[in-house]
Amino acid sequence: MAKKEADSRKKTGTPIIPLEDRIIKSEYSELMQKSYIDYAMSVIVARALPDIRDGLKPVQRRTLYSMSELGLRSDRPHRKSARIVGDTMGKYHPHGDSSIYDALVVMAQDFKKEVPLVDGHGNFGNIEGDGAAAMRYTEARLEKITEEAFLSDLDKGVVDFVPNFDETEKEPSVLPVRIPNFLINGSEGIAVGMATATPPHNLAEAIDAQIAYMKDPEISLDQLMRYLKGPDFPTGGIVINQDDLKEIYETGQGRVRIRGRVEVEKGRAGHINLVITEIPYTMVGSGIGKFLSDVAALAENKLTGDIIDITNQSSKEGIRIVIELKKDADVENFKALLYKKTRLEDTFGVNMLAIVDGRPETLGLKQILKCGADFQYEIATRKYTALLEREMKKKEIQEGLIKAVDLIDLIIEILRGSRDRAMAKRCLVEGDVTGIRFRSPESSIMAGQLRFTEAQANAILDMRLYRLIGLELEALIKEHEETLANIYRYEDILERRSSMTEVIKGELLSWKKTFGRKRRTEITNAEEAVYVVKKEETVRKVVCLIDHSGYAKVMDASAAGRNKEAIEEAYRFRIPARSDGRIALFTREGQMHILKVQDLPSGRLRDKGVPIDNLSGFDSSSEHLLYACCLEAVAGRKLLFVTKGAMIKLVEGSEFDTIRKTIQATKVGEGDSLLHIGLYEDTKTIVLQSEKGMFLKFEASSIPVQKKTAMGARGMKLAEGDCLEAVHLPADTDTAPVHTHGKEVDIFRMKMNKRGEKGTKKL
């Protein structure tokens, strides 16, 4: 094969390039990096994140457009979901039927969407987590608001159309959505390396905020929040951290704390019924079943003795979960227990991330409204430019027809005297009378003066005789007057920004009037729930468990003992404590966060727990958990601190007994971080190991006891570019060698040195 190629190149005179010069060499890591970045951007832009302009992900946009193309209007019969999914997948979205059907289902669920975009017929799932029926059983069509505010004017070129995946069809790059849908329906999605989570908002409030911004782009965030007060979840509930909302809307990130709505009713035999009528938005789905089991666990784990019975009486009419309590139950204290130990109070993590000009960007409220306003002006400009062009064409034809009616006898004479349509058209457009037979020379002279346009000539030639009736002529003149009025209006809209703003404002207000409704979610500030442990419920031995993902929970000590091996395998920290105790979380950055045991949910072995971020000041995005212990166990003892820079000290445990949630546990130098924190067990020796294989063994008694605000003393003199890798605390009877870097190091026989020296090379 190579010989044939060489002979061919010799015949054609093409120079022969050596094989090694034709091989494209590439660094494997660079190739992998580029491929991964391309994949990540594809997922980010083409699948997981919504576009800021229409607030829709590609699968949602394509599904709605496909339904529009199928003619599934709100006033027409429903069509099988399987047909919609098949059409969408075959023409626009070749990523599998399940993703399309899931998107269709969610757009039809009024407990997930503030404004449902699809009218579903059949079993489309429920708020308790039951899934929708298979697509072959359900039917769907567009909601009225989707037709009017999402899909109208596509025929006017208001958005660009792009080829589909196989370039056999055209699809809109974005839908001409006329309401701030990104805010109204929110969005949740996980891409590669980033995620979006925008809470839903009230349609009327979002429209008011959009109008306020369009009137005054310099409006302050405080003024905007008079219109848009905060999230409005379809499930209702109560947002209890109103003061935090300004920062969330300023940065586009933060946490919204939501509580379910609880009412108190009189029960049977004088008992008290605690009735939950609204749940946090985060409980939609399987969260209700988890809540019921968590409430049952409160009684099983003896956290409360007030519960008699719990029933889920929810129906299509709404949520109704009834917890029957004893006659003498402290209702407020029990509500606080529910807020602390269950998801009746939960956190919605806000990250308003969207695609802006083809790139992912986290946006604040003003930026979102600015993008929305710019898009509305763009749509209106393209729409009224198209309408103006249509009206100008109509005007041209109408003027030609009106003129033709006045010259109808001459035109009839031209038509009768012409051999074909082309001859008559030349006469009408150019005044060319060659070959046309006229009854009189005067008619020929008049015909030679005609100068109709191409469009007018075609309209005249296509005109039917009934248009010569007097009433028809009057209607034509009236239609012409309306056309002139439209042209004047469209030119005014396009030339004056204020006129366009008024038009957009009018459309927004009409949708607000038609589709707006009252707010469901209450916005307020509430104090943190405090549960007071009753005397008969005190001093319960538990084990606090924290896994590698930072999720925490408590288990009864006896249950934890029975599952010791499984717990040791699955959890990073296993901390014996009391039910009224506190857990200290120490980070590499030198901070200590306090976590109350009573704030942690009780759970079984396989239950996930809750993120420690939600219950303490710990921030997993910027901090790294290094050590956790029971604060009560530290009293009367010392903690050993060692940094990577070889700074070392002991601190009295009493210094960490504080009522504050977060304190500085130790001072850490610039560029340094903590390597080891632990209870000091009165060991006689300590061995420090550096990354470059240096070991230093010295007496533990030489470690100074200092305040928590001190940086510590030098534990080992490090070479340039070196840092500590490990801390060994051998017991007096420990003679086993240390296994590190595939070697054994006998620290038992290692020579004793003084603290602060360089140490000995062992690796």
Whether the per-residue pLDDT at 377 is higher than 90: the answer is: yes
Whether the per-residue pLDDT at 538 is higher than 60: the answer is: no
What integer pLDDT is reported at residue 468 of this predicted model?
Answer: 63
Mean pLDDT of the region 447-463: 85
Which amino acid, 206? A
> Of 137-141, 335-339, 443-447, which has the strongest mean pLDDT?
137-141
What tokens were used for 718? Answer: 């490090």
Q: Are residues 294 and 377 in the same domain?
A: no
What tokens were used for 761? Answer: 């090379």
Say how many domains are in the chain.
3
CATH of the domain at 332: 3.30.1360.40
User: 442, 448 in Cβ contact below 8 A?
Assistant: no
Q: Are residues 338 and 376 in the same domain?
A: no
Greatest distance between any 2 Cα atoms in the chain: 134
Whether the per-residue pLDDT at 590 is higher than 70: the answer is: yes
Place 524 in a pLDDT band, splitting at 50, 70 and 90: very high
Residue 462 lies in a domain: yes
Identify the CA nearest to 100 among candidates 141, 49, 62: 62
What integer pLDDT is reported at residue 763 of this predicted model?
Answer: 73
When mean pLDDT is compared across 10-19, 45-54, 466-475, 706-715, the lowest value belongs to 10-19
Q: Are residues 499 and 379 in the same domain?
A: yes
C-alpha 90/C-alpha 165 separation (Å) is 10
Q: What is the pLDDT of residues 557-582, one digit of tens each?
A: 888 888 888 888 889 999 999 888 89
Which amino acid, 238? I
C-alpha 601/C-alpha 337 separation (Å) is 10
Give the single-character DSSP code of 533.
P
Mean pLDDT of the region 706-733: 89
What tokens were used for 208? Answer: 């008011």
Q: 441-448 and 408-417 are packed helices; what angle lies between their axes, rounded to 10 degrees?
A: 100
What integer pLDDT is reported at residue 2 of this predicted model?
Answer: 54
Q: What is the pLDDT of residues 391-443, one digit of tens each?
A: 999 999 888 888 888 888 888 888 888 888 888 888 888 888 887 888 788 88
Place 16 in a pLDDT band, splitting at 50, 70 and 90: low
Q: Is 491 helix (H, G, I), strand (E, B) or coil?
A: helix
What integer pLDDT is reported at residue 36 of this predicted model?
Answer: 67
What integer pLDDT is reported at residue 41 of this predicted model?
Answer: 67
Place 585 in a pLDDT band, splitting at 50, 70 and 90: very high
What integer pLDDT is reported at residue 581 of this predicted model?
Answer: 87
How many Cβ atoms from other residues are within 10 Å of residue 453's Cβ? 14
User: 455, 400 in Cβ contact below 8 A?
Assistant: yes
Whether the per-residue pLDDT at 4 is higher than 70: the answer is: no
C-alpha 195/C-alpha 529 separation (Å) is 30
When mean pLDDT is compared across 348-352, 430-434, 592-596, 628-632, the lowest value belongs to 430-434
Domain coverage including residue 149: 49-177
Q: Are residues 53 and 129 in the same domain?
A: yes
Give the single-character DSSP code of 653.
G
Place 749 in a pLDDT band, splitting at 50, 70 and 90: confident
Whether the per-residue pLDDT at 5 is higher than 60: the answer is: no
CATH of the domain at 143: 3.90.199.10
Mean pLDDT of the region 507-528: 93
Angle, vertex CA 354, rays to CA 353 and CA 360, nearest 5:
90
When mean pLDDT is compared across 39-53, 421-435, 590-604, the lowest value belongs to 39-53
What integer pLDDT is reported at residue 630 of this predicted model?
Answer: 92
Q: Are residues 400 and 278 in the same domain?
A: no
Give the single-character DSSP code of 468.
G
Whether the per-residue pLDDT at 366 is higher than 90: the answer is: yes
Regarding beta strands 760-761 and 694-699, do their DSSP bridges make them parallel or antiparallel, or are they unpaired?
Answer: antiparallel
DSSP per residue over 330-380, as a string?
-HHHHHHHHHHHSTTEEEEEEE-EEEETTEEEE--HHHHHHHHHHHHHHHH
Identify the CA nearest to 235 among candidates 196, 199, 187, 263: 199
What integer pLDDT is reported at residue 211 of this predicted model?
Answer: 96
- In our burial notation (b when 16+ CB lie closer than 10 A, e otherwise), range 705-726 reads ebebeebbeebbebeeebbbbe
Q: Are residues 508 and 376 in the same domain?
A: yes
**pTM for the structure as a whole:** 0.75
What integer pLDDT is reported at residue 24 of this predicted model?
Answer: 72
Whether the per-residue pLDDT at 717 is higher than 80: the answer is: yes
User: 49, 360 in Cβ contact below 8 A?
Assistant: yes
C-alpha 633/C-alpha 626 separation (Å) is 18
Q: Are residues 507 and 439 in the same domain?
A: yes
Whether the per-residue pLDDT at 116 is higher than 90: the answer is: yes
Residue 219 lies in a domain: no
Residue 158 or 462, more confident: 158
Q: Are residues 83 and 164 in the same domain?
A: yes
Q: Are residues 276 and 382 in the same domain?
A: no
Please name the residues in contact with 45: beta carbons below 8 A apart, sequence gap of 6 or more: 355, 358, 360
Regarding beta strands 522-523 and 238-239, do their DSSP bridges make them parallel or antiparallel, or are they unpaired?
Answer: parallel
- Placement of tokens 């699955």 in the chain: 570
Please name the residues in contact with 170: beta carbons below 8 A apart, sequence gap of 6 or more: 161, 162, 163, 164
Q: Are residues 488 and 393 in the same domain?
A: yes
Q: Is 578 helix (H, G, I), strand (E, B) or coil?
A: strand
C-alpha 696/C-alpha 642 separation (Å) is 14
User: 458, 450 in Cβ contact below 8 A?
Assistant: no
In angstroms, the Cα distances linking 239 to 4, 66, 232 are 78, 37, 9
Give the single-character DSSP code of 517.
-
Whether the per-residue pLDDT at 537 is higher than 60: the answer is: no
What tokens were used for 240? Answer: 């209890």
Please name the residues in contact with 598: beta carbons below 8 A apart, sequence gap of 6 or more: 340, 341, 531, 533, 579, 580
Regarding beta strands 610-611 and 591-596, do their DSSP bridges make them parallel or antiparallel, or are they unpaired?
Answer: unpaired
Which amino acid, 307? I
When mean pLDDT is compared across 196-205, 441-450, 657-666, the lowest value belongs to 441-450
Residue 315 lies in a domain: yes
User: 312, 129 in Cβ contact below 8 A?
Assistant: no
Q: How far is CA 219 from the centre of its chain?
A: 26
Q: Are residues 388 and 278 in the same domain?
A: no
Whether the per-residue pLDDT at 45 is higher than 70: the answer is: no
What integer pLDDT is reported at residue 6 of this predicted model?
Answer: 58
What tokens were used for 143? Answer: 């909601």
Q: What is the pLDDT of residues 233-288, one digit of tens each?
A: 999 999 999 999 999 999 999 999 999 999 999 888 788 999 999 999 999 987 88
Q: How far is CA 142 from the centre of its chain?
A: 24
User: 363, 52 in Cβ contact below 8 A?
Assistant: yes
Q: What is the pLDDT of residues 163-198, one digit of tens each?
A: 998 999 999 999 999 999 999 999 998 877 788 999
Residue 741 lies in a domain: no
Separation of first and last alpha carbons in the chain:
55
Residue 339 lies in a domain: yes
Residue 131 lies in a domain: yes
Whether the per-residue pLDDT at 462 is higher than 60: the answer is: yes
When mean pLDDT is compared across 349-353, 389-393, 602-606, the lowest value belongs to 602-606
Q: For residue 39, which phi and psi values (nearest 5 degrees)?
A: -65, -45
Domain end among 514, 537, 571 = 514
Q: What is the mean pLDDT of the chain?
A: 88
Q: How far is CA 156 from the centre of its chain?
A: 31
What integer pLDDT is reported at residue 429 of this predicted model?
Answer: 86
DSSP per residue over 31-76, as a string?
HHHHHHHHHHHHHIIIIIS-BTTT---HHHHHHHHHHHHTT--TTS
When mean pLDDT is compared across 32-46, 102-116, 223-237, 562-576, the lowest value belongs to 32-46
C-alpha 728/C-alpha 686 separation (Å) is 6
Residues carrying an active site annotation: 137
Q: Where are the alpha helices (DSSP H) in 576-677?
A: 612-615, 631-634
* pLDDT above 70: percentage of residues in the chain: 93
Please name the residues in contact with 4: beta carbons below 8 A apart, sequence gap of 6 or more: none
Element (H, E) at 686: strand 685-690
Residue 622 lies in a domain: no
Residue 562 lies in a domain: no
Mean pLDDT of the region 209-232: 95
Angle, vertex CA 124, rays to CA 118 and CA 128, nearest 5:
125
Mean pLDDT of the region 462-481: 76
Identify the CA nearest to 185 among candidates 614, 502, 513, 515: 515
What integer pLDDT is reported at residue 299 of this predicted model?
Answer: 82
How many Cβ atoms from other residues are within 10 Å of residue 401's Cβ? 19
User: 473, 398 in Cβ contact below 8 A?
Assistant: no
Domain end among 177, 199, 218 = 177
What tokens were used for 594? Answer: 């306090």
Mean pLDDT of the region 135-158: 94
What integer pLDDT is reported at residue 402 of this predicted model?
Answer: 82
Q: For residue 746, which phi and psi values (nearest 5 degrees)?
A: -85, 90
What tokens were used for 16? Answer: 């022969």
What tokens were used for 192? Answer: 């590669």
Regarding beta strands 272-278 and 261-266, do their DSSP bridges make them parallel or antiparallel, or are they unpaired?
Answer: antiparallel
> Of 105-109, 459-463, 606-610, which has the strongest mean pLDDT?
105-109
Residue 578 or 32, more confident: 578
Whether the per-residue pLDDT at 18 is higher than 60: the answer is: yes
Place 474 in a pLDDT band, splitting at 50, 70 and 90: confident
Whether the per-residue pLDDT at 759 is higher than 90: the answer is: no
C-alpha 605/C-alpha 553 separation (Å) is 10
CATH of the domain at 402: 1.10.268.10
Q: Are residues 404 and 458 in the same domain?
A: yes
Q: What is the CA radius of gyration of the chain?
A: 38
